[in-house]
Amino acid sequence: MIKQLGFLILVQFLVVDASPKDGQKLSDYLWEQTAAYQQQALNSSLIYGMRARCLDPSEFGGYMLDDTLYCYETSLSLKKAGDRSNDNTTLKEHMESTADSWEEYWEWLKDIWHVENAGGIKMGEAGQAYVDHIRNVSEHESPVYTILALTPCAKLWPWLGKQIGSGSNDFGVYTSWVEENLVPTSTGYMEYQDHVEWAYEAGVVTAEKALEIFTASIQNEVNFFNSVARCQPRPRRESGNDCQGEA
């Protein structure tokens, strides 16, 4: 009986509003409904490791290899969805240009990490699940949902940058990465939201399906951040030099 009661409480806790309030934008509704995942991302192993300046470089390297392949796979998914958007020239052109941008990320990162081709990277479980989710949306849902599926990533990273003080705080060897990737002033996600909002108002996108896909994406984002081992900051040493001899 106690277990059943606990389950019912959990279900009630997870219940969300079924649709946006009157006058509320779909993008605001989706962000509001996934606030718990935003906090999980903020407290994830990757972000914590950078803030505490204890993230193992090997763990970071593994994450970045997965992220490099993620960029490649995302460009392919966008192209697939774009090919299915022949009835909407504006959306098709946007998806093609966005796919090109993701492909440029792939080309840039693979040179940095000395990757010759996508087949040479064995992706981790969390990254693979994320890629599979985006691919599934691009192949089976209305094309605009692929843009929606990528919105959490585009919106979450600037939010994280603002929360941790990107541009003003010191993250040790990861400072440059934080400042280049978690940019508080980045507004690229707004173009994504505009396309989705138009589709929502046109009846192409439903709030229920949008929340389902948006939630799955931000969950995958959190899992991807937690795919690195959580580190423990080393205790600060007392002042003085251990190498100094006695006076």
Q: pLDDT of 113-165, one tens digit each? A: 999 999 999 999 999 999 999 999 999 999 999 999 999 999 999 999 999 99
pLDDT value of position 85: 87
pLDDT at 238: 53
Phi, psi for residue 230 in degrees, rounded to 5:
-75, 130
d(CA 235, CA 217): 36
CA distance linking residue 70 with residue 82, whole number of Å: 18
pLDDT (0 to 100) of residue 21: 86
| pLDDT for residue 60 | 98
Q: Interior CA angle at 216 toward 49 and 56, to 5°? A: 15
Contact present, 148 and 196 (Cβ < 8 Å): yes
Three-state SS letters, 146-205: HHHHHHHHHHHHHHHHHHHCCCCCCCHHHHHHHHHHCCCCCCCHHHHHHHHHHHHHCCCC
Which tokens go with 123? 């992706």
pLDDT attached to residue 237: 58
Q: Which residues of the chain have pLDDT under 70?
A: 1-17, 236-247
* CA-to-CA separations, 83 to 13, 122, 134, 158, in angstroms, rounded: 40, 28, 15, 30
pLDDT at 17: 62
* Interatomic CA distance for residues 3 and 25, integer angstroms: 38
For the chain, domains (ranges, CATH) are 40-225 (1.20.910.10)
- Take residue 61 and report the two structure tokens written for it: 């390297």
Q: Give the residue from 222, 159, 161 showing the smallest Cα distance to 190.
A: 159
